Structure 1
Amino acid sequence: MTKKIAVINDLSGFGRCSLTAAISVLSAMGVQACPLPTALLTAQTGYPSYYCDDYTDKMEHYRREWNKMQVNFTGIYTGYVANERQIHEIFSFLDTFYQKETFLLVDPVMGDNGHTYGMYNDELCRLMRLLAAKADLITPNLTELCLLSGTDFHDLPESGKPQALLDTVREMAQALCEKGTKSVVVTGIHFQDLADGSKKIGNLYVSPLESGLASFPDMEGSFSGTGDLFASVLAGGYARGDSLSQAVLLAGSFLEDALRDSVREGIPYNDGVNFEKYLYYLLPKQ
């Protein structure tokens, strides 16, 4: 029977992110994506102009109708939320569908580069911390890790001091695990490799069974949707029974080639990366 993941995220017409990314990746990995949109956008919010249709009032209809169908999910995967009410809707969804055999992956879309996204306020941050504490896996970037742990982003060690930075990030991730989160993957850690001076981007993972760092060449620049693609591969890996380290390495390799291709072709950052031609990386092994 095909495994199903309920994906609670926005749907953007342009930008190769959110549900567009998740549906593509999960389908390639042999998992059925069941989208529950939090908002419909003509294009992701990095574009200079876009129209957004807030779906908060429609989220409850999905929960009720899916409950009537008596469906079960292998996993529940949450991404962008637009307001506090949407997190309350997610809590209600979890009360209905989050069973003992179901995993919860939370991608806490809160900010980047030391700045919080515009819709975030103290209450929304508090609710996201509560949601993250329920999760089997969260995938914050450094900014989001700081927001979840109550750490000042500007107090982090510099990228030129990689060991100090990585040690600090690992301690912060472990602290979140002590508050309830089962596993943490901190994405997009930029640092300098002291052995050869090259720039790297690392994904540090911490779980009860394993921990480590998977690093790749830093292509620089900030493309739309890379975090969504990464989290989607992890969700698909969890559904397939891959280990956390296997899923992190697969996601990193998949994104490395997609990013290199996009840089080579000069793709605008807002358009996202050329991931479609690399989906074959994710196909289930026969």
Structure 2
Amino acid sequence: MSTSGGELPTARVLTIAGSDSGGGAGIQADLKTMLAHGVHGMSVLAALTAQNSVGVQDFWPVPADLVTAQFRSVVDDIGVDAIKTGMLADAELVGLVADLLGTLPAPVPVVVDPVCASKHGDPLIAPDAVVALRERLFARADVITPNLGEAALLSGLTVQTPPDELAAALAGSGQTWTLIKGGHAEGEPIDRLYRGAEPVRSYPGPRLSNRHTHGTGCTLASALACQLALGKEMPEAVGAAKRYVTGAIAGGFALGSGIGPVDHLWELRGRID
């Protein structure tokens, strides 16, 4: 992490994702999470959304040449210590990002959050992109972070399939690690980390009554990228990211007339109080 001017004070983390005009998810959530972790956050805007607390009204993929230009601008000058990907709306964009990740001058941790739908159920990905995620992008990832619905869609199974079977079905997609999030399951929410098809560790958490959970998936994946950039090993990094997002969910607040965002600065607010 050194430059000609001396040692950098922290890690550099890049997000490649979509913009949430309401500020609760996407690029905006990623950068807030990075700020909360004390790392230097950078962004490649891959999609624009018209989005608020009640849903996603529309979205537009960013042209490929603009995605490439943003990526090259950051990587070739500033460099990166970890990368997180989020909303990539179509197969062309997924393939482009996979190719760009293959040009990195040195390996860095890559966290792929396979965003398929918004918190409100609005689709954020074209059907052909599902195949491209598995066949192109996952091979560039160190870890993927699907929720149960995304894991089912990506594996061709159902949401009732046990997490161990979902992980086994995704094990041949190229990534080393799979984190299947359990927040959409009944009962206690348990996230499960797998290395290939082998279960490594479970991360239970409380079922919080707060309904304001917009941006949860983006926030967890970004927190994980931050922890990896700061040098933690995968199981420890997942545990730290889980702790952070649990606190953010507990602090989620009403904003607009629908589902409000998690509180990315909950730890800072706690210190101030």
For the criterion TM > 0.5, the same-fold answer is: yes
Alignment-derived partner of residue 164 in structure 1: none
Structure 1 residue runs without a partner (length 5+):
157-167, 193-198, 282-286
1:241 pairs with 2:231: yes
Percent identity between matched residues is 23
Structure 2 residue runs without a partner (length 5+):
1-7
Structure 1 pair 96/133, CA: closer, same or farther in 2 (3 Å)? closer
1:132 pairs with 2:138: yes
- Residue 177 of structure 2 is aligned with which of 180, 183, 198? 183
Deviations 1:234-258 (A, max 9, x none): 1111111123232222223223333
RMSD: 3.0
1:104 pairs with 2:110: yes
Report the AA paired with residue 265 of structure 2: E
How many residues align? The count is: 257
Instruction: Report the 3-state secondary structure (helix = DSSP H, G, I; strand = E; otherwise coil) of the residue aligned with 2:111.
Output: strand
Alignment-derived partner of residue 156 in structure 2: 150
How far, CA to CA, are the matches of 2:100 and 2:269 in structure 1? 32
- Residue 40 of structure 1 is aligned with which of 23, 48, 67? 48
- Residue 252 of structure 1 is aligned with which of 229, 242, 245? 242
Alignment-derived partner of residue 62 in structure 1: 70
Structure 1 pair 9/70, CA: closer, same or farther in 2 (3 Å)? same
Preserved CA contact (<8 Å) 2:30 2:218: yes
User: Cα distance, 1:100 vs. partner?
Assistant: 4.2
Preserved CA contact (<8 Å) 2:118 2:124: no
Report the AA paired with residue 34 of structure 2: L
Report the AA paired with residue 227 of structure 1: G
Report the AA paired with residue 110 of structure 1: C
State TM-score, norm by structure 2: 0.80
Q: Mapping of 1:4-15 within 5 angstroms?
A: 4-15=12-23
How far, CA to CA, are the matches of 1:116 and 1:13 in structure 2? 15
How far, CA to CA, are the matches of 1:120 and 1:223 in structure 2? 24
State TM-score, norm by structure 1: 0.77
How far, CA to CA, are the matches of 1:27 and 1:266 in structure 2? 21
Preserved CA contact (<8 Å) 1:223 1:271: yes
Instruction: Report the 3-state secondary structure (helix = DSSP H, G, I; strand = E; otherwise coil) of the residue aligned with 1:188.
Output: coil
Structure 1 pair 13/242, CA: closer, same or farther in 2 (3 Å)? same
How far, CA to CA, are the matches of 1:61 and 1:141 in structure 2? 31
Preserved CA contact (<8 Å) 1:224 1:269: no
Preserved CA contact (<8 Å) 1:15 1:270: no
User: Cα distance, 1:119 vs. partner?
Assistant: 3.7
Deviations 1:212-265 (A, max 9, x none): 1111121254721001111111111111112323222222322333323337x6
Preserved CA contact (<8 Å) 2:18 2:49: yes
User: Cα distance, 1:207 vs. partner?
Assistant: 2.4
Alignment-derived partner of residue 5 in structure 2: none
